[in-house]
Structure 1
Amino acid sequence: MCTHKPLVFFVIAFVTMPVLLAQNVSSRLIDAKTKKGIPYATVQYGENQGVITNEEGRFSFILEKDSLTIDSVYISSLGYEKIGFTLEQLEDSVVVVKPKNIELSGVYLFDKELEVDDIMRKVKERLPQNTNDQPVKQRYFLRQSIFGNIHKVDLGFEKSSIEELDKELIDSIAGVIPRNSYHYTEALGDFYKNKGEYKAEVLRAAELYDKKDIGSFEDLGKRMEAMFKQNVKKDSYLKIKSGLFSQKVQVDSILSDIEAEEAKELERELGKDTVSGLVDGQKRIFKELLSEVYYAEDSKLNVIDKSRKYKFTLDGYADIDENGVYVIGFEPKGSADFRGKLYVNIEDFAIMQIDFENLKNLRNFRLLGIYYRETVYRGTMRFAKLPNNKYELKFVDFSFGRWFRFDRPLDVIEKNKNVKGRRKQNELRLNIDFRMANTNKWELVVYNNTLIDNSQFESLKEDKSVKATYMPAYNPEFWEGYTIMEPNQAIREFTVEEE
């Protein structure tokens, strides 16, 4: 019997090895009074190591072997007590945190107490010194959620001399268009920034969506084009006159010699590099987010640039990342667009966090039957101090909502090169009324901000062969072994319904 003990010991050691090498910690933060989840709280489990809770208060992280000896995990969020927990305490499915009121006075030391107007003046004066302009590498996790809701689809059949495209078919097309769409993209990677130039390395990415959904005018156009193509002569092509959709659609193979130029144009369109789209898409999202930071030149969030349009109030004091901050409320004096709060570092007058929401539509556009409104613009942005004493983005929760309407005629002309004389054969006339609301929500967590030099940035070669993994249903195993922001309930329950 004794001769088997080493073997038994080896098997036990082998089986338990993954536990010793790494530990997954997951839990949910809730408010002690309301019992609701605490969104976007900071969970720090080591020096320069931490995660952000999701909008439901859920979080998880991986402790590697060299981190298993940590004593405590610290949890902090504005409006709550900072508190430490042992790993054993975090094994519970729920962690309760007590609210803490914003201090109104008395706990911070000042060389001289300032009025709110003086604070805001110093914020503007110190802005160039507090804004990082050196090259930086950011390890990030980015989740983009796109929600579409079609309010109305009226294709407005008027007349048709294309036998196959009759009123019954047009009405059926309108009837099968999905009214709601959801598209989620998650990516983990490194983002590099150097004076307006951007590069990205995507380590892993996933996309969840239903390929049948309609998320834009373009999607509606593609759906209609596909259905039209199925119902006309094979040697015909369609010319759509509206400006809503592409101008020409080849019905037969793009390899045919019928209207070769149009076929080549369509081939180029269909052959757009979807493989490299992920890396370029991540850079485009970063560019969009950076353009909306309060100090960006063309940002809609003009609370600092147009400070004269806002009324500021000193609401109290709080702590962010061990720094005392002024809590400053702002609202429009007259025609300004936003209200919210600024959290200003008491020592260097840097804005460490800004909460904002629009009070009215930011844009109303109407021209020739096309309507466009920017209806939602709200979120939170946090900033971290770098070793050079300047600040970079640390966290973003940003929602941007728009409303569209397209109300104008659309002509579909069937042409056939094989017929003598004028090639116009038949025509379908519609009067489309299409209305849709669309909201983009971005959640960005920057785990590390690392200063780099110009040569590191210039020498980086992007790998554009990386692409996202498509998922018709959420798969929790996809991110196993990676530290990310936990998905919310809608993502966890997402699944494409079978036809």
Structure 2
Amino acid sequence: MRTNLFRHLLFLGFTTVLGTATSAQTLSSRLVDAKTKEAIPYATVQYEENKGIISNEEGRFSLILDELRTKPDSLVISSMGYERTALPTDQVLDSVIFIAPKAIELSGVYLFDKELEAEEIIEKMIERLPQNVNKDPIKQRYFLRQSIFGNIQKVDFGFEKSSIEELNEALIDSIAMAIPRSSSHYSETLGDFYKTKEEYKVNVLKAAELYDKKNIGSFEDLGKRMETMFKQNVKPDSYLKIKSGIFSQKVQVDSILSDMEEEEAKKLAEEMETDTVSGVADSQKHIFDELLGELYYKEDTKLNLIDKYRKYEYRIAGYSEIDEEGVYVIEFIPKRSADFKGRLYINIEDFAVMQIDFENLRNLKNFRLLGIFYRETLYKGTMRFGKLSNGRYDLKFADLSFGRWFRFDRPLDVIEKNKHVKGRRKQNELKLNIDFRMANTNKWELVVFENELINQSGFDNYTEDKSVRATYMAQYNPEFWEGYNIMEPNKAIREFRVSAE
């Protein structure tokens, strides 16, 4: 997955999020398993045909009635493994809704002219992809939440020597101690996503970020802070020369790329492109490019169940229903060098994939070069696909988590030079051997509320506004999303506060 290697691997901040309206025109509720009393995450709450919202990971949802063209008389709640439930709208307000579980049936539910083996179902699914996957231009109203959780496992600056009196071992140790060992960063965006077979456009309606500005936002930021501390502790007529790529992503890329093959170098350079909080539209397109590029049927996706389908074993685990459609429940596990296990929910009538659950069983990438170590340790999630008015399917929900581990183990030489000295200006020197290790998890939650098929001119006529900026929050503000239908914030977001200095 092409993501900013340093921004996401070494992210030590917090970002944004959500509130919901609490007026009389807001329906709020929490979905609970009637048997276990546990929350039902990511359930569909439908209020019109092809329109609905999704409960969050805690089973909570809100619906702003003023945003709807007509007030619905009832809501229809559906989730895999639970009874489809219809409730009058006036019974939903500020309530807990208990949903009865429904087991996956193993036999005797569906009648077939011919019983198919699991491998035959997979082959028919692949054969029907051209008819089932939507390629027509479409406009989708979406909500996207990104949560980044970082954990620094080791910060050792490896002090060796210093002839600069101010840059002594005590100062270097204080810098290491000042770096926060864990952090979170939340961002949330509501917008319209325009898509054709070849291109994307994004109309950002509103966006927010929730994080602590005192935290370090990237590995480059760490370098700049260290440079600032260094410069504060040297003579006014001196300057520093830093002999390492640690403080400049560009320098570091240039030093690495010369030793790498062209294709691998290109991929790494793309991963290290910097996203800025001010460029919300471009940042959203970058995420969509990555997310849609990882769909199970795309070329070069990690989750390649099409070209590599023979590397898996398949078993019919039973039958179920999604959106009132009967589905085969197919389990898959590796039988060769494949990386994933999971389940496919395949429509019995047209063999379209309506849902896929997956989880990696081994590291997906191990990279080591010139003191840089990188591993992709986690890749798991759920993706759901809904049928459009043209009879084809498009992504309507994604819950994707991916984890990385990063280590930077390289020497650092800080040289003090005096600009008033002629000739060789070197005055003093600081030698370090940095060992920095961090793990992080990035979680994306995407909900598509509405789908509208458009023509090519409808796509071409929309011009992106790239000036939209995200609103920064030092703490959760429940009024920010008032009047908008979104996915409810979870407890961590609701309780987030930036601590005082």
Return the offset for 1:136: 1.6
Return the offset for 1:292: 1.1
User: Residue 321 of structure 1 is aligned with which of 316, 320, 323?
Assistant: 323
Q: Output the amino acid matched with 2:355.
A: Q
Change in 2 beyond 3 A, CA 1:112/1:248: closer
2:461 matched to 1:444?
no
Deviations 1:42-71 (A, max 9, x none): 011222321100011010011138766533
Name the Cα RMSD after superposition: 2.1
Query: How far apart, in 2, do the equivalents of 1:135 and 1:67 lie?
Result: 24
Query: How far apart, in 1, do the equivalents of 2:76 and 2:236 lie?
Result: 67
User: Residue 106 of structure 1 is aligned with which of 97, 105, 108?
Assistant: 108
User: Residue 296 of structure 1 is aligned with which of 277, 290, 298?
Assistant: 298
CA contact (8 A) 2:150 2:438 kept: yes
Q: Which residue of 2 aligns with 1:488?
A: 490
Q: Output the amino acid matched with 2:286.
A: R
CA contact (8 A) 1:275 1:464 kept: no
2:373 matched to 1:371?
yes
CA contact (8 A) 1:240 1:247 kept: no
CA contact (8 A) 2:54 2:447 kept: yes
Return the offset for 1:147: 0.5
Query: How far apart, in 2, do the equivalents of 1:66 and 1:181 lie?
Result: 37
Q: Which residue of 1 aligns with 2:143?
A: 141
Q: Which residue of 2 aligns with 1:453?
A: 455
SS in 1 for 2:160: strand
Change in 2 beyond 3 A, CA 1:189/1:117: same
CA contact (8 A) 1:240 1:248 kept: no
TM-score by length of 2: 0.87
SS in 2 for 1:88: helix
User: Residue 28 of structure 1 is aligned with which of 20, 27, 30?
Assistant: 30
2:471 matched to 1:469?
yes
Q: Which residue of 2 aligns with 1:87?
A: 89
Give the stretch that moved more between structures: 487-496 or 384-393: 384-393
CA contact (8 A) 1:148 1:215 kept: no
CA contact (8 A) 1:338 1:358 kept: yes
Query: How far apart, in 1, do the equivalents of 2:405 and 2:134 lie?
Result: 35
CA contact (8 A) 1:181 1:215 kept: no
User: Residue 151 of structure 1 is aligned with which of 145, 150, 153?
Assistant: 153
TM-score by length of 1: 0.88
SS in 2 for 1:39: coil
Give structure 1 stretches of 5+ with no counterpart. Answer: 1-18, 250-271
SS in 2 for 1:283: helix
User: Residues 100-499 of structure 1 correspond to what in structure 2 (within 5 A)?
Assistant: 100-214=102-216, 216-246=218-248, 274=276, 276-499=278-501
Deviations 1:2-27 (A, max 9, x none): xxxxxxxxxxxxxxxxx9x9710011
Return the offset for 1:453: 1.8
CA contact (8 A) 1:143 1:444 kept: yes
SS in 1 for 2:89: coil
SS in 1 for 2:128: helix
Return the offset for 1:215: 5.1
Q: Which residue of 2 aligns with 1:263?
A: none
Query: How far apart, in 2, do the equivalents of 1:74 and 1:123 lie?
Result: 29
Return the offset for 1:248: 11
Q: Which residue of 1 aligns with 2:76?
A: 74
SS in 1 for 2:129: helix
CA contact (8 A) 1:180 1:213 kept: no
Return the offset for 1:334: 2.8
SS in 2 for 1:174: helix
Q: Output the amino acid matched with 1:443.
A: E
CA contact (8 A) 1:332 1:339 kept: yes
Of structures 1 and 2, the one scoring higher in RCO (CA 8 A, sep 6+) is: 2
Q: Output the amino acid matched with 2:381.
A: G
Q: Which residue of 2 aligns with 1:253?
A: none
Give structure 2 stretches of 5+ with no counterpart. Answer: 1-20, 252-273
SS in 2 for 1:484: coil
Deviations 1:328-355 (A, max 9, x none): 0001113211101000011111111100
Return the offset for 1:78: 0.2
Query: How far apart, in 2, do the equivalents of 1:443 and 1:31 lie?
Result: 22
- The percentage of counterpart residues that share the same residue type is 72
User: Residue 45 of structure 1 is aligned with which of 44, 47, 67?
Assistant: 47
CA contact (8 A) 2:140 2:193 kept: yes
Query: How far apart, in 2, do the equivalents of 1:352 and 1:236 lie?
Result: 65
Change in 2 beyond 3 A, CA 1:234/1:204: farther
Q: Output the amino acid matched with 1:402.
A: R
SS in 2 for 1:432: strand
Change in 2 beyond 3 A, CA 1:236/1:203: farther
Query: How far apart, in 1, do the equivalents of 2:300 and 2:335 lie?
Result: 21
Change in 2 beyond 3 A, CA 1:276/1:69: closer
Return the offset for 1:170: 0.3
How many residues are treated as equivalent by the alignment? 458
Change in 2 beyond 3 A, CA 1:26/1:235: farther
Return the offset for 1:35: 1.1
Q: Output the amino acid matched with 1:343.
A: Y
CA contact (8 A) 1:317 1:325 kept: yes
Q: Output the amino acid matched with 2:227.
A: E
Change in 2 beyond 3 A, CA 1:391/1:64: same
Deviations 1:201-239 (A, max 9, x none): 100000001112235433322322222232223454433
Give the stretch that moved more between structures: 414-423 or 379-388: 414-423
Deviations 1:161-214 (A, max 9, x none): 222211111000001111111100000001112233221110000000111223
Change in 2 beyond 3 A, CA 1:315/1:66: closer
Change in 2 beyond 3 A, CA 1:421/1:397: same
Query: How far apart, in 2, do the equivalents of 1:305 and 1:134 lie?
Result: 24
Change in 2 beyond 3 A, CA 1:30/1:278: same
Change in 2 beyond 3 A, CA 1:136/1:281: same
Query: How far apart, in 1, do the equivalents of 2:456 and 2:95 lie?
Result: 46
Give the stretch that moved more between structures: 381-390 or 470-479: 381-390
CA contact (8 A) 2:220 2:249 kept: no
Query: How far apart, in 2, do the equivalents of 1:130 and 1:23 lie?
Result: 38
Return the offset for 1:319: 0.8
SS in 2 for 1:157: coil
Max radius of gyration: which structure?
Answer: 1
